[in-house]
Structure 1
Amino acid sequence: MTSMRPDGHVLWSTDVAVPVSRLADTVDWSKAECSRLGLFASVVGHVGDGNFHVAMIYDPRDPAQAAAVARCVRRMTDRALEMDGTVSGEHAIGIGKKACPRDELGDETIGLMRALKRALDPKMDHEPGQGV
């Protein structure tokens, strides 16, 4: 996909995971969401564990495209949570889904994660700026 993207375009790659029993419906739903963008997108995965990946090619200089892709990713994470899944199966959270763990885990769990991070990495040497 990266070799076929037009100059100036970028690839937004994301993932979610859902129970295998809900995978087909969630993949179909995600494909339909991506189709509505009118951009090149693909859905791939190692679906035996309920995890799948979506990659979309867009022009980050186009505010409307960038916002549409971000909204699509957010809808995918919301849908995964509705399906008793998780906002990320293996690709971690990253900048694009930074707000999503709170939706999945709640304030109390995020607070515990922050306390553990501070206790184990008080200088924030490992993955600085992430801070859960």
Structure 2
Amino acid sequence: MQRHESLRPLSREHHQTLQIARRLQSGEPDADLRQDLSAHRADLKAHFAAEESIGRQALMQCPDDTILAELLDRMQREHRQIEKLLVEMLDEAGGSATGRRLGELLVAHVRFEERELFNRLQEGCLAGQAGEPA
């Protein structure tokens, strides 16, 4: 499916996040991985802000779309969980178990956004349609 123009950059950014997530899942976080996480942290913060902004705009256009509201709520909860685990990893309090949890959450989160949230957005409110997607 061709992504809506507002979602394309976010989908491209998901690829980089998945690469880091796979490294987190593969074992003990080393200095290189922590450095990459630190560099990626600002990108993630901007990415989350962009997604949440698009979500708010879509919900204003489709205020009666309860499914979209639930998906956006899940997205925001997961963003906060990711941020919390990222802080643990960067404070070096987090070892391989925290890294694996963060990696698993990142993979599941990207899949959720690509397969559920983004599809709902572009088939509904971003496409200018209110309510249920066709």
Q: TM-score range by the shorter chain?
A: 0.3 to 0.5
Q: Which has the higher contact order (CA 8 A, sep 6+)?
A: 2
More strand by share: 1
